[in-house]
Chains A and B, each alone.
Chain A
Amino acid sequence: MADNPLLALQGVTKTYGTGDSQMHALAGVNLTINPGEFVAVMGPSGSGKSTCMNILGCLDMPSGGDYHFQGVNVGGLTRDQRALLRRHYLGFVFQGFNLLNRTTALENVELPLIYRGLDTATRHRLAKAALDAVGLSSRETHTPGELSGGQQQRVAIARAIVTAPCLLLADEPTGNLDSKRSVEIMELLTAINRDQGITVVMVTHELDMADYAKRIIAFKDGLIESDRIING
């Protein structure tokens, strides 16, 4: 394995609530992910996989333990510093697509670039390239309402990769799609991982989808139950 892991969790715990109603979502997770990996995270609901994803995405903070992203201790960052980290290094794909309504596909993809402070011409160029990469160059002016679920998810993927992030976090990206569209999305994610070298961490319920990954991690009761390399 590489000397410099992309991210490392060391004894990470997450506790919700206080006193008797305390709930341990994560009970001390150790995990290292290297650049270029394609990891599928599995596990029943309540196993802690979503909490783990939120911590990996710097959206949530661990209650205990350390999270290092590219050697930086995320626990020591402020809310805004974590936002900047997301802006520059992370991309998100959600189960529910989470596109802006009544906003064209192009404008949706441009959104992260606006926060990067790029000029209009550069934004347009990059956003068009990203839409092209997900095979939607003919749908630039369509709003989410005018696109199918599979197309919406592809716009969301374009939005996530338009900034060329180090890490793409996908939370059940095929959860709302039929099997045919799911396969298309998985092939797209595989291609992104392979061709652009973007590390992908994906939560999924379906073994079929997990099979596209190179490594499968299974959560149970707030701990990693198994961690195996496939397609290695």
Chain B
Amino acid sequence: MLGNALLLAFRTLRRNAMRSLLTMLGIIIGVAAVIVVVTLGSGATQQVSQQVASLGSNLLMVSVGKRMGPGQVSGAEAFKLADAEALAKDVYGLVAVAPVASGSTTAIYANENWSTNVSGTTDAFFSVSNQPVAEGRLFTASEARLGTAVCVIGQTVATKLFRLQNPLNNRIRLQKLSCEVIGVLKAKGQSTMGTDQDDLVVVPLRTYQRRIAGNQEINLIKVSVQSGHDTEKVKQGIESILRTRRHLASTEENNFNVMDMKEIAAMLSSTTQTMTGMLSAVGAVSLLVGGIGIMNIMLVSVTERTREIGIRLAIGALENEVLLQFLVEAVVLSSFGGLIGILLALGIALGLSGLLQVPFVFQGGIVLTAFLFSAAVGVVFGYFPARKAARLDPIEALRHE
């Protein structure tokens, strides 16, 4: 009985190919939208979590200024080297502390110049921010202390300034400082915020302060926490020491900020998930609209084929057989639309993931769900027209013009 109904449904839909396709469009778009959004969303989430892993384990960023909102800070007194040393000495559970003074500077080599971020820091920087060297070497603790004119550059800077040349042992100019490139950092890619983590030049802190910045200021202290230690407690320890050193009264708010990179990453990935959810809901609305489209066209079809229904009833079709015929037609219509939507969505997701540089993560669950949902749309929205057809009076139906 079901086999016959399928056969009849395919015959009818084929006879109205254009109308069938247009009716399916709503379902196609809905299914495709949901799958594309979820696939890209989970790709983005995966990317975020990979970036979290690349940030370095248990990294805390201590920056100057009160946090006003995303990326906004209000002015406040900079840190000093002594602050970083105090943290290293007095906070329990730290692996390393790297004070960082940085600014934007144009780096020059021969005829090439490239505006980049120059950071003055200690040798601890590389381990704290999880940036190993790819070629050459990192500067040593004694070089850092002495303020030697050496630098380690990121991949982006190496490419922009040296093209295909080997940058090692060449000298680049940063404002008035001429320094020797002793190492190139391993490529790290984009950060969670979308900035290029390979676009940097690292010089010893003392060199930076004396020869580039001309002051003793430090804008950022990177702290890595021993694994297994509660970062929240470490954060509190850092805050209390810095409050004392910066002479803040108990009523005053912190004029610095301690950020846990993991928290930020978690926040970002939950943002991604929220966006995915919302966009999926939009897609689901489209599925609903598609369902109503199917109901509409099925009602038109029932009216149009009243005489056919009359003939079928007259030659002995049961109520359920007519019901099933129209229901199967609606389900075939919607699930076929779902199938096309799935194929379309996978194509689009594959294309967009390349374009947006988000990894393509195949989500079998959502594909199956979307397909079942589209079939269910057919059942739900096809039932009413099908019941209407099944309950027709054969005499009236045969008289219908």
Contact = CB atoms under 8 A, between A and B. Distances in A.
Given A54-B395, A98-B310, A98-B311, A83 B1 contact: no
Contacts of A59: 314, 394-395
Contacts of B317: 83, 87, 115
Interface string B2-19: 001001100100010000
Nearest to B317: A115
A112 interface: yes
B395 A83 contact: no
Given A84-B316, A86-B316, A87-B316, A115 B321 contact: yes
Interface in B303-355: 307-308, 310-321
Given A59-B395, A98-B307, A92 B318 contact: no
B297 interface: no
B398 interface: yes
A98 B314 CA distance: 11
Interface string A11-54: 00000000000000000000000000000000000000000001
Given A59-B394, A60-B395, A98-B310, A79 B319 contact: yes
Interface bin, chain A: 20 to 34
A92 B395 contact: no
Given A80-B319, A83-B317, A117-B1, A100 B311 contact: yes
B249 to A, nearest CB: 89
A63 B71 CA distance: 85
Nearest to B399: A96
A83 B311 contact: no
Contacts of B312: 111, 115
Interface in A47-79: 54, 57, 59-60, 79
Interface residues of B, number: 23
A171 to B, nearest CB: 9
B280 to A, nearest CB: 40
B4 A114 contact: yes
A175 to B, nearest CB: 14
Contacts of B313: 83
A219 to B, nearest CB: 18
Nearest to A102: B15
A90 B321 CA distance: 18
A224 to B, nearest CB: 21
A88 interface: yes
A86 B394 CA distance: 12
Contacts, number: 58
Contacts of A83: 313, 316-319
A95 to B, nearest CB: 10
Nearest to B314: A92
Nearest to B307: A98
Nearest to A101: B308
Contacts of B319: 79-80, 83
B15 A84 contact: no
Given A94-B398, A98-B398, A100-B308, A115 B315 contact: yes
Contacts of A107: 11
Interface in B1-58: 1, 4, 7-8, 11, 15
A128 interface: no
Interface in B363-401: 394-395, 398
Contacts of B395: 54, 59-60
A111 B314 contact: no
A57 B314 contact: yes
A110 B398 CA distance: 19
Nearest to B394: A59
Residue in A80, A107, A117 with the greatest tally of chain B CB atoms within 10 Å? A80
Nearest to A99: B311
Given A59-B395, A102-B15, A112 B315 contact: yes
Contacts of A80: 318-320
Contacts of A54: 395
A60 B313 CA distance: 12
Contacts of A79: 319
Interface in B204-255: none
Contact of A84 (B8, B310, B318): B318
A215 B199 CA distance: 104
B95 to A, nearest CB: 77
A90 B315 CA distance: 8
B1 to A, nearest CB: 7
Contacts of B310: 98
Given A59-B394, A94-B398, A98-B398, A111 B318 contact: no
B326 to A, nearest CB: 15
Interface of A: 54, 57, 59-60, 79-80, 83-88, 90, 92, 94, 98-103, 107, 111-112, 114-115, 117, 159
Interface of B: 1, 4, 7-8, 11, 15, 307-308, 310-321, 394-395, 398
10 nearest CB pairs, A to B: A87-B316, A86-B316, A112-B315, A80-B318, A83-B316, A59-B394, A98-B311, A102-B15, A59-B395, A83-B318
Given A59-B395, A87-B316, 8 more contacts: A83-B317, A87-B317, A90-B316, A100-B308, A102-B15, A103-B11, A115-B316, A117-B1
23 contacts: A57-B314, A59-B394, A79-B319, A80-B318, A83-B316, A86-B314, A87-B315, A87-B316, A88-B316, A92-B315, A98-B307, A98-B310, A101-B308, A111-B312, A112-B315, A112-B316, A114-B4, A114-B8, A115-B4, A115-B312, A115-B315, A115-B316, A117-B4
